[in-house]
């Protein structure tokens, strides 16, 4: 890479190309080319596991020594100035997962920092399955994309019309408001 200063447009193109090359060389297990995408003092962090790897050699080794049969596919790379974010699908020993990675570029366009997030799959909360199809989304929020991979969620139980009784306690004064009890009566001191 040349040492001349970059304009913002050039840097944005460079970081996008650099991130694409980073992932392509990882997939190819071309660790020399992978290392060439990294600044000498690159910092790689995984907040979920509290791992931090410092320096090009450490980041290359960390990735090269990953166990298991794995492959990746870049879903998307988005850039803004000297920053990029990527969404990558991974298959590891027949398990599929996704990763979101944040990158910043050094002055020469190589990767200065990487922060990886590896979300774990989990079942949705019942209360979160309010809508089961695009037609049921309120018009003001819309539906980003109908998901036909899963059957519609069961209907949520109706809300209780009866309040849950509070444990009985002796009334205690609330400053300036008087006494309130669990029976709903109130008095002013």
Unique residue bearing structure tokens 């996704």: 98
Instruction: Provide the whole-model pTM.
Output: 0.60
Please give the Cα distance from 18 to 21 (Å, whole number): 5
Instruction: Label residue 54 by pLDDT band (50, 70, 90).
Output: very high
Which pair of tokens denotes residue 173? Answer: 């004064």
Please give the Cα distance from 133 to 5 (Å, whole number): 51
- Tens digit of each residue's pLDDT (9 = 90 or more) over 104-140: 999 999 999 999 998 877 676 655 555 555 455 455 5
> What's the topology of domain 8-117?
Nuclear Transport Factor 2; Chain: A, (3.10.450)
* Cβ-based neighbours of 46, under 8 Å, separated by 6 or more: 52, 115, 116, 117, 118
Decide: 112 and 20 in contact? Cβ < 8 Å: no
Pairing of strands 38-46, 111-117: parallel
Decide: 115 and 102 in contact? Cβ < 8 Å: yes
For 184, which DSSP code? S
Unique residue bearing structure tokens 């989304």: 137
Please give the Cα distance from 25 to 23 (Å, whole number): 6
Q: Which of 19-33, 66-80, 113-127, 151-165 has the highest mean pLDDT?
A: 19-33
Please give the Cα distance from 110 to 125 (Å, whole number): 41
Domain residue limits, the chain: 8-117
- Tens digit of each residue's pLDDT (9 = 90 or more) over 67-113: 778 899 999 999 999 999 999 999 888 788 899 999 999 999 999 99
Instruction: Label residue 178 by pLDDT band (50, 70, 90).
Output: very low
């Amino acid at each position: 890479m040349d040492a001349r200063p970059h304009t913002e447009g050039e840097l944005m193109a460079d970081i996008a190309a650099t991130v694409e090359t980073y992932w392509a060389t990882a997939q190819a297990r071309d660790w020399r080319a992978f290392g060439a995408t990294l600044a000498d003092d690159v910092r790689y962090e995984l907040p979920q596991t509290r791992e931090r790897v410092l320096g090009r050699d450490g980041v290359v080794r960390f990735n090269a020594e990953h166990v298991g049969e794995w492959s990746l596919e870049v879903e998307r790379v988005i850039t803004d100035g000297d920053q990029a974010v990527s969404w990558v699908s991974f298959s590891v020993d027949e398990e599929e997962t996704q990763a979101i990675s944040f990158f910043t570029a050094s002055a020469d366009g190589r990767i200065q920092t990487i922060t990886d997030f590896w979300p774990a799959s989990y079942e949705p909360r019942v209360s979160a399955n309010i809508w089961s199809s695009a037609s049921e989304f309120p018009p003001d929020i819309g539906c980003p994309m109908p998901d036909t991979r899963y059957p519609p969620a069961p209907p949520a139980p109706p809300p209780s019309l009866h309040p849950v009784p509070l444990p009985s306690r002796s009334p205690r004064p609330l400053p300036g408001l008087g006494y309130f009890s669990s029976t709903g009566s109130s008095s002013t001191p």
